[in-house]
Amino acid sequence: MNSTAAAETDADHEAEPILACTICRDVQDFDLLIEDMEAELGERWGDLSFADATVFLAQPEASSMEFIAIAIDEEDEANVGTIADLITAAVKRDIKVLVIAEEISPMVLHQLLKLGAKEFVPYPLPEGALHDAIARIRTPEPVPEPAAPAEVTPRAVKPDDGRDGVVIPVHGLSGGVGATTFAVNLGWELATMSKDDAPRVCILDLDLQFGAVATYLDLNRREAVFEMLTNTETMDSESFMHALLTFNDKLHVLTAPADMLPLDLITPTDVERIIELARHNFDYVIIDMPSTVVHWTETVLNAAHIYFLLLEMDMRSAQNALRLIRALKAEDLPVEKLRYILNRAPKFTDLAGKSRVKRLAENLEITIEVQLPDGGAQVVQACDHGLPLAEVAKKNPLRREIQKLAKSAHELNRAVAAGK
């Protein structure tokens, strides 16, 4: 009798399907994961190496799995191709994927999440983190409600201060044309326009790979920026302001992240949310753009009031300007917002140089509205010391020209606002 009952119990136990698997190089390197998996699933989980997991996910019995937990650390970055294939195979079988990572670069993590991994938990595991992640995986996704007609969709409510900031992107048409230097100094001149009634100004450094605004203002890069960029759907005014740093209590800056990130880390929707919050909190929003055209450049252009393009008197700038103009016109984008700024322009007495500038504008069929002089060695020194030109070289010709431009833009903006 007892032996029969025991046999039936063993048969029932053997019939229970495995609900999950951990996949890693060596599960003993993740001892806390073993403890938490046993606490959550008892004995209804298994462990596989990367090679075994590749074979298992191709088998019919893999379809009964609820999820797989891929545990990786920095040593596995060289094997990211195999890990990506595992995630793709699991997603095809409708198996949820949980990534548990220790000291993995944000770029690799972004790549894995983009392939379809549903959850990410850092290792060592915070208390309750695995339980919460599994609960989210098991929660059915809500059925989306039908979208409301476009004409009755309510607009976002603005904060009580009623700000509606001017959006001014700055885009260098080639590397080294001085776009970031211009953006930083324009922002500082606007922020220090008046001692009593200075406008609120922020700079958004959206060059996620080589952004240098933090360097030019001697600001630390913060992890809060990466966290905000990867979770903009929960971002509000408080979290946005928390991600900003201030320079001399006058200029607010969203620095580029600490690590080099792919430019598609953020989507057009993410960028739209960031710009909208910035406009609601500041009078001027200066955006330092990557020199590359990305899939959210259109979003920035549509949000911009004016879009500054910096170029120099060289063939690469001319060719890139021509390519960009053609691309924007082909997509029927608002090229009328573009304003061309020539940096390191010829001096007033250089008549031959002035003639070349005129021919450049005629060949490109553009108007070069601003010509910035060469600021010389003082510009490099100011950038290296993390200070605006106004703080170290007030009489520098480049600084004076940017100051004039800032005053002109501010006066125009106030006149337009007064006429509304």
pLDDT tens figures, 124-152: 888 888 888 888 888 876 655 554 443 43
Mean pLDDT, range 149-178, rounded to an integer: 68
In this prediction, residue 158 carries a pLDDT of: 41
Report the percentage of the chain scoring pLDDT > 70: 90
The rounded distance, in Å, linking the Cα atoms of 75 and 24 is 11
Q: Is 401 helix (H, G, I), strand (E, B) or coil?
A: helix
Work out the mean pLDDT of the chain and round it to a whole number. Answer: 86
Measure Cα distances from 348 to 234, 352, 374 in Å: 52, 10, 12
Closest to 365 measured CA to CA, from 330, 327, 326, 337 = 326
Residue found by looking up tokens 């979770």 in the block: 231
Measure Cα distances from 305 to 64, 169, 170, 219, 371 in Å: 54, 9, 12, 28, 20
Instruction: Read off φ and ψ for residue 288, nearest 5 degrees.
Output: -85, 110
DSSP letters, 312-335, are -SSHHHHHHHHHHHHHHHHTT--G
Candidate from 154-163, 218-227, 320-329 with smallest mean pLDDT: 154-163
| Contact by Cβ (8 Å): 288, 214 | no
pTM above 0.85, yes or no: no
In this prediction, residue 154 carries a pLDDT of: 34
